[in-house]
Structure 1
Amino acid sequence: MSKVFSWVLTTASALTLSLAPLFALAVEHYQSHRITPQGVVLTTDQGEVSVEFYNPHSVAVWYQPAGVTQLPSLLIGNPAQPVELALASSEQQLTLQSDALQLVINKSPLSIAFYRDGELLTRDQAGLIQADGQLGFDFSLAEQEKLAGAGQRVLGMDRRGHKLPLYNKAHYGYSTESSQMYFSLAGILSDKNYMLLFDNGATGELDLGHSQTDQLRFRAQGGRSSYLLVAADTTPELIQQYLAVSGKPPLPARWTLGNYASRFGYRTEAEARAVVQKFRDLKLPLDAIVIDLYWFGPDIQGHMGNLDWDREAFPSPEQMLADFAADGVKTILVTEPFILTSSKRWDESVTAGAIAPGPDGQPKTFDFYFGNTGLVDVFNPKAADWFWQRYHELLTQGVGGIWGDLGEPEVHPADTYHYLPGIGLQPADAVHNAYGHRWAELVHQGYRRDFPAQRPFIMMRAGSLGSQRFGMVPWTGDVDRSWGGLKPQVELALQMGLFGFGWIHSDLGGFAGGEVFDPELYIRWLQYGVFQPVYRPHAQEHIAPEPVFHSQDVINTLRPWLELRYRLLPYNYTLAYQHSQSGIPLMRPLFFLDEQNPALRDEANSYLWGDAFLVAPVTEPGVTSWPVNLPQGIWFDFFSGERLEGGQVLQRPVTIDTIPVLVKAGSFIPMTDSLQRTADYQGKALTLHYYADQSVATSQYSLFEDDGVTPDSVAKGQYELLHFAATTEDNRLTLNFSREGGEYQGKPASRDLTLVLHNQRGKARKIYLDGRYIPIVAQPQRFARGDYMAWYDKANKQLKIKLPLTADSKMLQVRY
């Protein structure tokens, strides 16, 4: 329940915290303050400073010096919630407090210290710093504090000690080290369980204790002089509180979790059709095809900006789209924000006012790899409307998803200007990192307005803090097709996931270079891909990225992995639901299980896939074993069933057919039968695996189901949550079933459930479902008494129980 807003005014004697002397240069001095519904506004000798709580855990501080242009917020996506606050005032300080945070505001010089449970988190040492045409902030760092964040970098999980550019920039063919990449984020997450996020999309720099070991410095070339501080008891709670302010990622369509055919690129309609048919002929599942540059022109250069089909290469695209859709295959088209002067749309875009101007007010043109070009001014409503109309035309034809490439923007001359409503023209450096964010926003808004029955699919390479609320599906860019390119993919995904970008994924198999096909590398990358958010092999065409074009040995090795991806659909879709509700990512750092373990904080080679799985991708050739940093507890090998003790680093045996995949004791894993497309999924028949162990007395799990396509299905009540709770006693295992939610299209009245209980000591003596006895038989095929039966798989130590799961099912008891 939200608390009623109230104020408590106290005297100086009520203060329990004080600020230590600050060494930072005094830049601003308090004069007065006024109370607002969410905090206070300070009047200073330079302007105003608003301190506004968005919830008890999150506070935004916005410095508004007189005469300084302030750009719109990127980070804030939701209105503030009612918060109970207390204010204390003395001659030297103000203390502002919620249930979770205490701010001590030193009046002169102005500075703010942030406390949680009496512990200093960090200190805004000198307020807003303005110098050399830049704005910025300096914050204190504790001696042993670890910092994640700053977006896509290959530096290790702890980014402390680095000075990092905040400038979204392509890094073609990166591998084991990169300090600047496609998607920078102006924020950090501390192991002291706070986040510090700068609400600014300008070109800048983030110094994480590099220049001065006990100081974090943020600098930007304009933008917005505001930041958000969030604090909580655990990292998952921290992410949830941040996204309650910034906006949660929406639930995508179920097909997003399927297999994609993708390359640079399919040159003709005939080739695209043949690729889809190849998957069907080989009975390898497929849900999407991604068509790169050649859909709008025959060559790499000279055609970007046409934003329409090349009818010579794709003579009947509408029919192709319809045929693919009838086969359960969505078509995703690449688009770019560059309109070449040689393209068919150049004159039209200029007339529409869609091209960003230069200093002379005329459309700015410049050369880059693809030709002489202008850049769509996505900030300008006129340009955004023109750009959206191109998308509207394509989506009306039947295009299933939008791919926005080169959105850093890849080339962004400093003398380019962008028009912001109510503000006017701003130079490129003031908005550079906001470009992809605004592009995603205009596509998302267009979808919601013009295609309200569709869940948007928006895959983009760059954005900023806050872009997750537009359903952005980012990827890790043009990675080198090498073992070095594979190694950092876990780190990249975990770092982005901590800030709400749970759909981050890599070009499976690697994109750039690689003159000779390496089947082992390819297999290892696609095995890892089974446990990443989007399964999309993608590469330059000289080596086929699609498994169907490789040897029978490669196909045979990968087939069970691709089938596993689809069999895990109910589990993976539940992860997508969890991400949309709380922001917790699909790929999770191991330290989620033990936040006080520094070794798990630094772990960048293995990760959790949801609550159940621990995955350790193999990233070196020719190995027969692979290390797994196993957290405390009991774990099971997913393939062999072997029971393992945690709290140690284990060498696990591997072959070309396996990578270490472990399951935490007490986990539920729902699975379905093999599918050829996600559209075939009905949820009627489910296999529910439960990994029983005496070390776990109780455990719970909730399976999410809806029709997979309806937008806002949760808000509309068009979903079902199936709750499972297990209790383990000496001679009894009890499973309780319950449901919540409403009706949706295709909801089964009853589900055929096969329950697989792992780690069974022996045969059960008796099994009851709501008091009904379930007979235990030697072999299931010999039993012909309806849908209730159980049997013991001695070889795998599994007890299997088949039963109908209805709305009336409440409790299953297994007695040993």
Structure 2
Amino acid sequence: MMNTLQFPRLRASLLAMPLFALSLGGNAWAAKVKSHQFDGDTLVLHTDEGQVHLTGYGDGALAVHYQNSGIKQLPSYALDPNASVQRGELVEAGPVLEYRLPELTTRIQLNPLSLSYYHQGELVLAEERGLIAEDTVRGFRFSLQEQEKLMGGGSRVLGMDRRGERMPLYNRASYGYEGKPGDRVDQMYYGLPAVMSSNKYALAFDNSATGWLDIGATDPEVLQFEAVGGRTAYLVAAGADYPEVIENFTAATGRQPMPPRWALGNFASRFGYRNEAEARDVVARFAKAEVPLDAIVLDLYWFGEDVQGHMGNLDWDRKHWPEAEQMIADFSEQGVNTVLITEPFILTTSNKWDDAVSSQALATDLGGQQPKRFDFFFGNTGLVDVFSEQGRNWFWQQYQRIAESGAAGWWGDLGEPEVHPHDSLHRVADAGDVSATADEVHNAYGHEWARLVDDGLRQLQPDRRPMIMMRSGFVGSQRYGLIPWTGDVARSWGGFKPQVELSLQMGVLGLGYMHSDLGGFAGGEQFDAELYTRWMQYGVFQPVYRPHAQEDIAPEPVFHDAETLRLAREAILLRYRLMPYLYTLAFENSTTGMPLMRPLAFEDERLFEVKHSYLWGDAFVVAPVTAPGVDAVQVPLPAGVWFDFYTGARFEGDQTVSVPVTMETQPVLVRAGSVIPMVAPVATRDYSSAELELHYYYPKTESQGGGRLYEDDGISPDSLEQGAYHLMEFAVVTEEKGLTFDLQQSGQGYPGAPESRRITLTLHNVTCNVQSASLAGQPIDWQQTEQGVVLVFDWAGEDAQLTLNW
């Protein structure tokens, strides 16, 4: 969405200065524990300053809530209210208590109170002075170890290691941002008050208020969180490696539900389609060009003919969309899902203003009785109070009514919120209807907005998975199905460069679907075909494939020249061919919290600071081409053998390699030993694995490898819980004289699942003369091709072993 706003003067001055001086003297929390009680679920420490509650989640996550007497506490937004509490073990040893979870031990010094955290006997994190509880600021201080590196802070352009950075915690639009060499963008749409450490812990501050995250900037040895108010609580998780830390962290904060399969397909999206004829035309163009299309996104023109003056109408502009319901039904017949934008601003000129006011749905002024009115780019407005029961109920009624049009997905824009006057009041229903200022709850606004939409849709459409895009939220927002994007990025090489970094920083802290507007959103005086092509190619390997931009340069490939369309179409078809692999990554994310895009540090700690290359699942390393005129890209590789996905060229890992590229290719390298599933490139409505390709990359050494494939109907929200899926496991063992390829399948199946699959197995890089091949003891034929050995056979899901000898 466009944004020409300036940050309010008061907010700018607030964030320009530190909230808290480090010369604490004797004013820091120095409580003494007088007694404690433990019921197996929660350990409560009774101190001379208040209570401290410690609650375990998963095998290695602990929520810590300091409840100092006289300090207002707001609800936890980071913790999943449905998360299972882990029963801990308490060991008393004189002046020290040990609170033990399977993978995290907390040592509690009683006088003065101080907490430190251990994984397998090794110290990973310790409070330095612990709680900060002053009149105008609250927060925490932790000690940093000498060689420690830290990701964190969410979506910002600062590099991967953010130690030494002091970051404002106030979600804020950053229109037309770029990441040119030397440039920084330290405040953006979706910040996170959380870090992921090379010491294998994650730490999140469960506080929604305006503040700062200081990772060794003011004091090199201290990690400090500061806020103007909010909850005095944090969450720490630890593990043996990054995946285990993430699994424990998301056991407490929640995991992303499986998205509908169509949400992983190709989108048509722009700012914006102005009428029904334009929307129908673009869908027809995709069909004519034979480019698969799964969704069309309608920006704000669906409820008003102009940018200004109509926000908040939240109903069809019948002059320009006379048969909107029929249009959506027609699109649905073609397998195209319609996504509608909504915003939380209700203009005083909109036809919903009076109803919102009478329903007490809006944030109020400091008097608490009248809606807070203010001006911003789109007009004079109020803001829906998504924290209050009245605001939630009124807003959901609008969604419920709109849903009758047949919309399949929802796009929440401007949800930082983009303008949020400090003298606004919200009623926080989850805290007993206590009032809170905008500054106290600002960073959780998008989180609560996503929650109300998700809750409502699950009741209204219990047989369908919600699809909810939001550009802002909080720690844990993924549990509400929130799909974030990186905001209004500049349509330039400088805008393209930081996109990997932005997604990686979000993914390690639970937000696995962070993605960019493919091709760039803002500005650009003329179309740059090379930039556009490279961004579209990168999109194959980011979580959501959604070209989106201002309309002065079309974001849809079907409006461009034949060569640009050809290259974009190839990228989109590859996206659909790889849908089984991508959908399996979605399954892994939903069950373990593992992001789809993963830092190379997951494989090699020496690659912690790499921000332009990443792991796509376990099998791929991807390095998008982010500069013009490039014929080769330097790619750091983890140890092992890797193959160029496009050419089959072999690379030895544990070094940086030069990967040649053409306009048809980008650096995509496949790990030797991987099994990659593929299908015919069709839109997801026609998805089927009845004809399934399996591509195995033979390493020419004795080794073990494999892969897996998860499938369900792509729609039902409870497929995992009911066992209505197929999970296919492929395990490969290579030896000097041949290999064995084991196939297994679990799950009870799902409606539409193939009774049997026709498998085309390609063993890439096999140059040996095959002497025999058998499946379940029965001989089968094979072909020797330029790619390797190809075998075709039928498989009905039974345990089977394929054997090759040479």
If the length of structure 2 is used for normalisation, what is the TM-score? 0.95
- The answer on 1:745 being equivalent to 2:779 is no
Q: How does 1:168-247 map to 2 (within 5 A)?
A: 168-176=171-179, 177-247=184-254
Counterparts in 2 of 1:168 and 1:138: CA distance versus 1, 3 Å: same
- The answer on 1:414 being equivalent to 2:422 is yes
Q: Is the 8 A contact 1:571 1:670 kept in 2?
A: yes
Per-residue deviation, 1:104: 2.0
Query: Which amino acid in the other structure matches residue 385 of structure 1?
Result: N
Bigger shift: 372-381 or 99-108? Answer: 99-108
1:815 matched to which residue of 2? 805
Per-residue deviation, 1:29: 2.2
Bigger shift: 45-54 or 634-643? Answer: 45-54
Q: CA deviation digits over 1:381-437, x for unaligned, max 9?
A: 111111111111122220010000000000000000100120421100010001000
Query: Which amino acid in the other structure matches residue 412 of structure 2?
Result: G
2:92 to 79, 88, 94: 88
Give the Cα separation in 2 of the matches to 1:80 and 1:457. 25
1:691 to 672, 691, 697: 697
- The answer on 1:288 being equivalent to 2:303 is no
1:28 matched to which residue of 2? 31
Bigger shift: 490-499 or 386-395? Answer: 386-395
Query: Which amino acid in the other structure matches residue 441 of structure 2?
Result: V
Q: Is the 8 A contact 1:62 1:226 kept in 2?
A: yes
Query: Which amino acid in the other structure matches residue 810 of structure 1?
Result: A
Q: Is the 8 A contact 1:666 1:696 kept in 2?
A: no
- The answer on 1:629 being equivalent to 2:629 is no
Q: CA deviation digits over 1:422-455, x for unaligned, max 9?
A: 0421100010001000000000000111110110
Q: How does 1:75-114 map to 2 (within 5 A)?
A: 75-77=78-80, 78-90=82-94, 92-114=95-117
Q: Is the 8 A contact 1:459 1:473 kept in 2?
A: yes
Per-residue deviation, 1:613: 1.1
- The answer on 1:345 being equivalent to 2:352 is yes
Q: CA deviation digits over 1:504-543, x for unaligned, max 9?
A: 1000000011011111100010010010010000000000
Task: Note the aligned Cα RMSD (angstroms).
Answer: 1.3
Give the Cα separation in 2 of the matches to 1:216 and 1:135. 14
- State the identity %: 51
Paired residue secondary structure (1:554): helix
Give the Cα separation in 2 of the matches to 1:342 and 1:687. 56
Per-residue deviation, 1:494: 0.5
1:154 matched to which residue of 2? 157
Query: Which amino acid in the other structure matches residue 803 of structure 1?
Result: F
Per-residue deviation, 1:84: 4.2
2:792 matched to which residue of 1? 802
Give the Cα separation in 1 of the matches to 2:749 and 2:665. 40
Paired residue secondary structure (1:31): strand
Q: Is the 8 A contact 1:71 1:423 kept in 2?
A: no
Give the Cα separation in 1 of the matches to 2:177 and 2:396. 32
Q: Is the 8 A contact 1:475 1:506 kept in 2?
A: yes
1:716 to 704, 718, 722: 722
Give the Cα separation in 1 of the matches to 2:602 and 2:125. 22
2:376 to 343, 347, 368: 368
Q: CA deviation digits over 1:43-78, x for unaligned, max 9?
A: 111111112222341111111111221111111113
Give the Cα separation in 2 of the matches to 1:113 and 1:566. 48
Count of residue correspondences? 774
Query: Which amino acid in the other structure matches residue 765 of structure 2?
Result: N
Per-residue deviation, 1:696: 5.4
Query: Which amino acid in the other structure matches residue 411 of structure 1?
Result: V
Per-residue deviation, 1:127: 2.9
2:784 matched to which residue of 1? 792
1:477 matched to which residue of 2? 487
Give the Cα separation in 1 of the matches to 2:483 and 2:101. 35
Give the Cα separation in 2 of the matches to 1:23 and 1:427. 29
- The answer on 1:505 being equivalent to 2:515 is yes
Give the Cα separation in 1 of the matches to 2:74 and 2:29. 25
Ranges in structure 1 where 5+ consecutive residues have no aligned partner: 1-21, 776-789
Paired residue secondary structure (1:382): helix
Give the Cα separation in 2 of the matches to 1:768 and 1:472. 47
Q: Is the 8 A contact 1:105 1:111 kept in 2?
A: yes
Q: Is the 8 A contact 1:56 1:83 kept in 2?
A: no
Give the Cα separation in 2 of the matches to 1:408 and 1:353. 21
Per-residue deviation, 1:39: 4.2
Give the Cα separation in 1 of the matches to 2:309 and 2:279. 22
Give the Cα separation in 2 of the matches to 1:810 and 1:726. 12
Bigger shift: 735-744 or 253-262? Answer: 735-744
Paired residue secondary structure (1:114): strand
1:785 matched to which residue of 2? none
Q: Is the 8 A contact 2:702 2:735 kept in 1?
A: no
Give the Cα separation in 2 of the matches to 1:319 and 1:526. 31
Q: Is the 8 A contact 1:155 1:178 kept in 2?
A: yes
Query: Which amino acid in the other structure matches residue 33 of structure 2?
Result: Y
Q: CA deviation digits over 1:181-225, x for unaligned, max 9?
A: 000101101000001111111111110000000000101121111
Q: Is the 8 A contact 1:289 1:331 kept in 2?
A: yes
2:475 to 461, 465, 484: 465
Per-residue deviation, 1:119: 2.1
1:398 matched to which residue of 2? 406
Counterparts in 2 of 1:109 and 1:24: CA distance versus 1, 3 Å: farther
Q: CA deviation digits over 1:70-95, x for unaligned, max 9?
A: 111111113443434132131x3323
1:123 matched to which residue of 2? 126
Per-residue deviation, 1:809: 5.2
Bigger shift: 269-278 or 59-68? Answer: 59-68
Q: CA deviation digits over 1:225-272, x for unaligned, max 9?
A: 111111100101110111111111100111011100000000000000
Counterparts in 2 of 1:56 and 1:609: CA distance versus 1, 3 Å: closer
Q: Is the 8 A contact 1:88 1:94 kept in 2?
A: yes
Give the Cα separation in 1 of the matches to 2:769 and 2:565. 38
Q: Is the 8 A contact 1:587 1:607 kept in 2?
A: yes
Q: CA deviation digits over 1:580-599, x for unaligned, max 9?
A: 111111111112122xx32x
2:10 matched to which residue of 1? none
- The answer on 1:558 being equivalent to 2:568 is yes
Q: CA deviation digits over 1:441-499, x for unaligned, max 9?
A: 00000011111011000000000001010010000000011000000000000010101
Give the Cα separation in 1 of the matches to 2:391 and 2:165. 38
Per-residue deviation, 1:107: 2.1
